[in-house]
Structure formats: structure tokens, C-alpha cells
Amino acid sequence: MKIVEIREKTVAISSPIRNAYIDFSKMTLSLVAVITDVIRDGKPVIGYGFNSNGRYGQGTLMRERFIPRILEADSQDLVNDAGDNFDPDKIWASMFTNEKPGGHGERSVAIGTVDVAIWDAVAKIEEKPLFQLLAERYGNGKPERRVFVYAAGGYYYPGQDHSKLKDEMRSYIDRGYTVVKKKIGGASLEEDLKRIDSILSVLQDGQKLAVDANGRFDLDTAIAYSKALSQYDLFWYEEPGDPLDFELQATLRNYYDKPMATGEDLFSMQDARNLIRYGGLRPDRDWLQFDCALSYGLVEYLRTLEMLRQHGWSPSRCIPHGGHQMSLNIAAGLGLGGNESYPDLFQPYGGFPDGVKVEDGYVTLPDLPGIGFEGKRDLIEEMRKLSA
């Protein structure tokens, strides 16, 4: 068995929104198709993947380095010992040939995007959902198909006022979400607090708000927000300072004793380990948001989960960034605490298989082979254009 071809394409997911740091008017992502010679249901198995929003398409790196390394490898070296499926670890190692340690962000998105497409193919070859395969290989054998999701929105956009913000949040609640998220740091502290008050005025008992500063604040600003936000019962206070400023993050525990969340901009097990070692996060209340599609894929995510275990963290403290089905599968298969969701953004790439509804803050994953892209019609149509 062999990988016949790997195709990639950069596609637009532009949107007029902005957070405290960037706007998304020129945002793109890479779509990948891994075409194999393995036949299921009379057709070659094709694995698909994409990187989540925020880091742009990665085609050049894939074309120049990572795809050729896979295709030039002896196909015998890319399969498992039984010879009946591809081995994601071996394929990952082939992509990482002649790569220096450190500097992970340079290539972690490109490798991660190919890696998730490989896992889609591997699970399809076993004719089972990826969450089932993960639970059997790395978990307790029993996936939890019901996964917590929260609605990420509350971006800044032209013409937004408080009534539109409340309407937006109400629409998430009406669609079954119990936790909604709003961006902060793109306006003054005073204005952000007014917006938070507006949103809280439409939430009921059992519904919560999370806020996300997207790494915008210096230490003084982060402390000022910490003190001001302490008056609320927020679901979390996310990414206050620069993602690599672990001392800033650690300092904030002296000013904010409620849940915090961070990690979406750390792209390797080693970077995640530094956050755990030096970021002062608390395993009894804080949340980790590492996103497999941006950080070397699922092979690396398994290493990160093992690192967390060694440091006394449960996988249930992880609620990944990105709002994609790759992380939904990890959550269901390996017991993560949930997943991000963008109900109105980044379509058709985000979201759930058709017919999956959010109920009381949870979705239930259907039985679809692989990651489950075939269950989302608008998405699989885009993917099949690439592999046709």
C-alpha cells in the first residue's frame, strides 16, 4: 500500500471581523488531500485535512519539503508492522527529516495539516471513526461521543453596537450553546466592561461568558483587566499576554484567581511544556487550548497529552482552539474537556457534520469513517474538488 499523491490548495476564509491583534480580511488556510491506493467501497481512500484559522495557507512549505519527503520515502517504511495500514508516526518522522529542533512555528502548521489528513486516511482504512480508533489505541477503548462545545464570537466588526452584540450572543444561546465567548482588548477597558455587562444581561442561570484578549496586553494592562474581570463569574479569561511570556501569565495568578485559558499559539509539545513548567497555570481550574492542526498534528498532540499527564494535568483540562472536526475527534476519543466552535465564521471549514445539533452545550458525534468530513456536505464538496 502506498500514498500515491498529496495535493494542497490555499483557500480564502476571509471575514470582516477583527480581534485585539489581527483582522481576518485576508485570512487563508491550506486544504490537503492524501490520495492512497487502498480501496474501500470500490474507491481509493483519500484523507483530508486543513489548518485552522489564524495562520494562513502553508502551500510553499508543503510543496518544497514535507510532501516530497513522504513521496520519496520507501512506501514500506511508512506502514505499520502488520503492513495493513499507514503508520502516522513513521510518516511524521519522514516529514521531520533534516529539520532542526526548536523554531516550531516555522513548519508546525504545514506538518500538522498533512498529519491530520494522514489520520483521516488511517481511520477510513480501518473503517471506523477517528475518535473510535483513538479511544482503542490510546484511550480506554470507549469514546465519549458527547462533547462540550462553546460558541466563539463577539469579534469586533464595523457597525457593531451593544444591541447587535446582544443579538449575536442570544443567537448562540438559541442554538443550544451554554457558553459564549467575546473578544476583549480591541477597545478600552471601560468599553469592554460595558460590552461584558451587555452580554451578561442576556445570559440566564447556567450560561456563561468567556473573554479572549488574543495576547494583546502588556503586564500592566493584563493586571488592570484581571482586577476588573474579577468582579464577574466568567467561564475563563483567555490569553491576556504574549503567548510566549510565561512570566506575565504566571504573575496574573496573583491578581486573578478564577479560571484562565491559553495555549492556542504554542505549536509543539516543548512549547506547551514550557507553559506548564513556567506559566503558573493551575490544573484544578485553568484550561489549555493547544490546536493539533496548528501544532504538528495529532502525532504531536499525543506527545503533548503524555507530557500533561506527567505534570499532573488531566486531558479534560484541554479545550482546543480552532473549531474543527479534528479536535472534536480527539475530544471524543481521548477525553478532552470540549472544543471551540465558531457558529457563524470560517465556513465551510468549521462546525459539525450535517444534522448535528448543539443541545445543552454539547454535540454528539455521529458514526462516520475517519474524521467525519464526508458528513458535512458543503465541506466535502470543497475537499472533493481538490482530489478529483
For residues 192 and 212, which CB has a smaller minimum distance to Mg ion in the complex? 212
Enumerate residues 6+ apart whose C-beta is below 8 A from 315. 305, 308, 309, 334, 335, 336, 337
* 8 A C-beta contact, residue 240 and residue 248: yes
Minimum gap (Å) between residue 67 Cβ and Mg ion: 30
In whole angstroms, what is the distance from residue 168 CA to residue 48 CA? 32
Q: How far is the CB of 384 from Mg ion (least distance, A)?
A: 31
Number of residues that bind Mg ion (CB under 5 A): 1
Name the grid cell of 180.
459564549
Residue 243, all three cell numbers = 503567548
Site for Mg ion in 266-295 (CB under 5 A): none
The least distance separating Mg ion from the CB of residue 118, rounded to whole angstroms, comes to 27
Q: Which is nearer to Mg ion, 143 or 215 (CB)?
A: 215
- Nearest CB to Mg ion, comparing residues 119 and 150: 150
The DSSP code sequence of 331-348 is HHHHT-S-EEE-TTSSTT
Residue span binding Mg ion (CB under 5 A) among the ranges 190-198, 199-207, 211-219, 299-307: 211-219
DSSP 141-167: S----EEEEEEE---B-TT--HHHHHH
**Under the criterion CB under 5 A, does residue 8 sit at the interface with Mg ion?**
no
Stretch that binds Mg ion, among 206-214, 266-274, 347-355, 372-380 (CB under 5 A): 206-214
Q: Cβ closer to Mg ion: 126 or 212?
A: 212
- Beta bridge partners, 34, equal 6, 47
Residue number of the CB closest to Mg ion reads 212
Which of the residues 141 through 160 are near Mg ion (CB under 5 A)? none
Least distance between Mg ion and beta carbon 212 (Å): 4
Distance between CA 97 and CA 94 in Å, rounded? 5
Residue 201 vs residues 79, 166, 209, 381: alpha-carbon distances, Å: 56, 8, 11, 40
Name the residue nearer to Mg ion (CB basis): 22 or 39.
22
Phi (first) and psi of residue 12, to 5 degrees = -85, 135
Stretch that binds Mg ion, among 34-42, 57-65, 212-220, 240-248 (CB under 5 A): 212-220
- Using CB under 5 A, which residues numbered 81 to 100 contact Mg ion? none
Q: Compute the least distance from the CB of residue 330 to Mg ion, in Å.
A: 18
Q: Is 192 in the site for Mg ion (CB under 5 A)?
A: no
Please choose, out of 26-34, 107-115, 208-216, 272-280, the segment that lies near Mg ion by the rule CB under 5 A: 208-216
212 binds Mg ion, rule: CB under 5 A: yes
Q: CA–CA distance from 59 to each of 64, 66, 323 (Å)? A: 8, 10, 22
Least distance from Mg ion to the Cβ atom of residue 225, Å:
15
Q: What is the DSSP letter of 52?
A: P
Catalytic residue positions?
183, 321
Residues that bind Mg ion (CB under 5 A): 212
